[in-house]
A and B are shown apart, each in its own frame.
Chain A
Amino acid sequence: MGSSEPTSCETIPITVEFSGGLEMLFSNKAKHAVAVPSIDPVTNSPFNIGHLIRHLVDNLITDDRTDLFVLDDHLRPGILVLINDADWELEGEEEYEIQSGDAILFVSTLHGG
């Protein structure tokens, strides 16, 4: 994507994936190559998962139902975030600073059977 405003800082390439039905909100595509700024232009701090979530809502989402992804500026309950295949709680949640080549997976938790 890489449609963020041009800033002086460079961008870093990452992979963002959606699963468990969330892909429906992102052009029905599970895997996206995304370029994000290394410094968040608003807060001027290293780009973290919290910034990424806002970035995805501003740039990548293709569905009106943003409340299925974010509620009150945070990820809605019932979505797990996996940073390079580890629960984001092990990595600092929204504070985790994104590194080049990271694979970030958003999974909606399932309850059916």
Chain B
Amino acid sequence: MDGEIGNGVMKTASNGVNEYENRRLTDDEFDRYSRQMIVPGMGKEAQLRLINSRVLIIGAGGLGCPAAQYVAASGVGTLGIVDGDVVEMSNLHRQVGHATSRIGMKKVDSLITHLKDLNPLPTYTPHPFHISSQNAADIISKYDLVMDCTDNAATRYLISDICVLLQKPLVSAASVQKSGQLIVLNCPPAQQGLIDKPYPPCYRCCFRKPPPPSAMVTCGEAGIMGTVVGMMGVAQAGEAIKILASNLHKPSTSTNPSAPPSENLCQPHLLLYTYDLASGIGPYTFRAAKMGGRKKNCFACGENSPSTLTLEGIKGGNPNYEQFCGLNAASTTLLPKEERITASAYHQAKVKGELPEHILIDTREKEHFSFGSIEGAVNLPFTTLLTKAFKIKRAGQEEGKAEDILPPQAKEVSEDAPILFVCRRGLDSQEAVEKFKELGLDKGGKRKIMDIMGGMKAWKDEVDPDFQFI
């Protein structure tokens, strides 16, 4: 055991950064962290840095749960968690810090319950609401390092901007379906606007513009493998622990160039993880891509950024993150009323026997379709439909070619029988109608092509409450 003694009194160093005196670890701490402290590069000093640091995890979901578990277990002194949601059954295959017995509980409370049992030593602070332009700076200012475990682009830009302004390092990860990404940003933090030498990038330096809303995919739509998002959350915790243990979370200002940023932090690597369910031999791929440093023209951290981005501005709604990410523009109605039928109207007509002979095409992916559909529906996944439509168009619309896109069951009905589309929530089905009309399959109006409004979600809500909707 180390023979030094101290009482852990905090003193303020001349540079205004709080430093802790070297102290003896308590017996509990010594015992609990012993296996970690003897790892080369750790030791007592690194452990004390962890104990004296404050970490904020934003999002208590698939990334936040594993991230919080490992950060808490490693012995950080204070762990704050932000999330406004409650635990749902469909979270539990990946959000392993919650529990079946805690469904319906606020996620922050559920996760903290788990963490306290895992490690009672840290101080846990719940923030049981979503992060917003109004509250972000107040919350983030109380911590030394931020972990972005959120699930949408608008929040990611907000968090990064606040981290630039408050000079906090940001460990950012994201994951959808079978892919994950991870990057350390703004570390060590440098004052906004400095460009006299290489400085680390912010989120905007690396990802200047968000994708259009039509290209944004959520875990709710595309699905997510628990192990994939879990791997990213654990890796995120690893980066946070490394930064805190190495004291890289302290701002290096021009008056205090104590921590000259090393090259690999000024040009951080973006970790890309891909997992392939279909591949037997290559189960996964990791790759690391070298990113650029702070950009001179960055809106948030570049040369003129102090005039474009301020804390007061953000609180007052400038920039408008929702608008930046195009969230207000999305339209969900493409077709005129005459080309649409509600789920309940379809059902009633069918029950009364008033429905003419028709073909019903379900455009959800085959994994969704495997849980059932409307009776008589045939499956033509949207991506397959688009690929086929594209091939036909490229080959030139010769007579008969367009018919190739129809499922084989179409031959069992008369050739002018109406075609109906249904999808998950009612957008793809409308696009499918438009696509079929583009291919001339409506025969100039002779053949009706329509969609069921609101998709299988509406079918469950209006017709069949027992339907297993994903």
Binds A, one of B26-34, B386-394, B419-427: B386-394
CB neighbours (8 Å) of A78 from chain B are 207, 209-212, 215-216
Contact code string A24-61 (vs B, CB < 8 Å = 1, else 0): 10011010000000000000000000000000000001
- How far in angstroms is the closest Cβ of chain A from B175? 6
Binds B, one of A6-14, A63-71, A94-102: A63-71
CB neighbours (8 Å) of B270 from chain A are 80, 87
Within 8 A of A (CB), among B192-220: 206-212, 214-219
Is B287 interfacial (CB 8 A cutoff)? yes
User: In the complex, which of the residues A80, A82, A113 contacts B173, with contact meaning CB atoms closer than 8 Å?
Assistant: A113
- How far in angstroms is the closest Cβ of chain B from A76? 7
Given the interface pairs A21-B179, A62-B387, A85-B289, the reply to whether A110 lies near B174 with Cβ below 8 Å is yes
User: In the complex, which of the residues A62, A90, A108, A111 contacts B391, with contact meaning CB atoms closer than 8 Å?
Assistant: A62
Whether the Cβ atoms of B211 and A112 lie closer than 8 Å is: no
CB neighbours (8 Å) of B355 from chain A are none
Whether the Cβ atoms of B229 and A113 lie closer than 8 Å is: yes
Whether the Cβ atoms of B212 and A77 lie closer than 8 Å is: yes
User: In the complex, which of the residues A27, A64, A110 contacts B181, with contact meaning CB atoms closer than 8 Å?
Assistant: A110
Given the interface pairs A68-B215, A77-B209, the reply to whether A107 lies near B272 with Cβ below 8 Å is yes
User: In the complex, which of the residues B63, B64, B149, B211 contacts A108, with contact meaning CB atoms closer than 8 Å?
Assistant: B211
Whether the Cβ atoms of A21 and B217 lie closer than 8 Å is: yes
Whether the Cβ atoms of B287 and A113 lie closer than 8 Å is: no
Within 8 A of A (CB), among B148-172: 149-153, 156
Compute how far the CA of A111 lies from the CA of B215 in the bound complex, rounded to whole angstroms.
11
Given the interface pairs A19-B272, A20-B179, A85-B288, the reply to whether A112 lies near B217 with Cβ below 8 Å is yes
Given the interface pairs A77-B208, A77-B211, the reply to whether A113 lies near B174 with Cβ below 8 Å is yes
Whether the Cβ atoms of B217 and A76 lie closer than 8 Å is: no
Is B61 interfacial (CB 8 A cutoff)? yes
Whether the Cβ atoms of A85 and B290 lie closer than 8 Å is: yes
Whether the Cβ atoms of A113 and B62 lie closer than 8 Å is: yes
CB neighbours (8 Å) of A77 from chain B are 208-212
CB neighbours (8 Å) of A80 from chain B are 206-207, 270, 289
Compute how far the CA of A77 lies from the CA of B208 in the bound complex, rounded to whole angstroms.
8
CB neighbours (8 Å) of A21 from chain B are 176-177, 179, 217, 222
Given the interface pairs A62-B387, A85-B290, A111-B151, the reply to whether A71 lies near B212 with Cβ below 8 Å is yes
Compute how far the CA of A19 lies from the CA of B176 in the bound complex, rounded to whole angstroms.
11
Whether the Cβ atoms of A63 and B386 lie closer than 8 Å is: yes
User: In the complex, which of the residues B181, B222, B389 contacts A109, with contact meaning CB atoms closer than 8 Å?
Assistant: B181
Is A16 interfacial (CB 8 A cutoff)? no
- How far in angstroms is the closest Cβ of chain B from A106? 11
Is B417 interfacial (CB 8 A cutoff)? no
Compute how far the CA of A64 lies from the CA of B439 in the bound complex, rounded to whole angstroms.
12
Compute how far the CA of A100 lies from the CA of B216 in the bound complex, rounded to whole angstroms.
33
CB neighbours (8 Å) of A89 from chain B are 292
Is A86 interfacial (CB 8 A cutoff)? yes
CB neighbours (8 Å) of B63 from chain A are 113
Compute how far the CA of A20 lies from the CA of B383 in the bound complex, rounded to whole angstroms.
16
Whether the Cβ atoms of B208 and A113 lie closer than 8 Å is: no
- How far in angstroms is the closest Cβ of chain B from A49? 15
Compute how far the CA of A100 lies from the CA of B272 in the bound complex, rounded to whole angstroms.
24
Whether the Cβ atoms of B212 and A87 lie closer than 8 Å is: no
CB neighbours (8 Å) of A85 from chain B are 287-290
User: In the complex, which of the residues A28, A64, A109 contacts B435, with contact meaning CB atoms closer than 8 Å?
Assistant: A64
- How far in angstroms is the closest Cβ of chain B from A20? 5
- How far in angstroms is the closest Cβ of chain B from A65? 6
Instruction: Give the nearest-CB partner of B390 in chain A.
Output: A64
Compute how far the CA of A27 lies from the CA of B383 in the bound complex, rounded to whole angstroms.
10
Whether the Cβ atoms of B212 and A76 lie closer than 8 Å is: yes
Whether the Cβ atoms of A113 and B61 lie closer than 8 Å is: yes
Whether the Cβ atoms of B289 and A87 lie closer than 8 Å is: yes
CB neighbours (8 Å) of A67 from chain B are 212, 214
CB neighbours (8 Å) of B175 from chain A are 110, 112-113
Q: B150, B217, B222, B224 — which one has the most chain A CB atoms within 10 A of its CB?
A: B217
Whether the Cβ atoms of A65 and B289 lie closer than 8 Å is: no
Compute how far the CA of A76 lies from the CA of B216 in the bound complex, rounded to whole angstroms.
12
Whether the Cβ atoms of A79 and B211 lie closer than 8 Å is: yes
Compute how far the CA of A68 lies from the CA of B387 in the bound complex, rounded to whole angstroms.
14
Within 8 A of A (CB), among B296-316: none
Is B59 interfacial (CB 8 A cutoff)? yes
CB neighbours (8 Å) of B215 from chain A are 68, 76, 78, 108
13 cross-chain CB contacts under 8 A: A19-B179, A21-B177, A21-B222, A63-B386, A63-B390, A64-B393, A78-B216, A108-B215, A110-B174, A111-B218, A112-B217, A112-B224, A113-B149
Q: Which 8 A-B pairs have the closest CB atoms?
A: A78-B211, A77-B209, A110-B174, A112-B176, A113-B63, A64-B390, A111-B153, A112-B219
Mark A residues whose CB is within 8 Å of B: 19-21, 24, 27-28, 30, 61-65, 67-68, 71, 76-80, 82, 85-87, 89-90, 105, 107-113
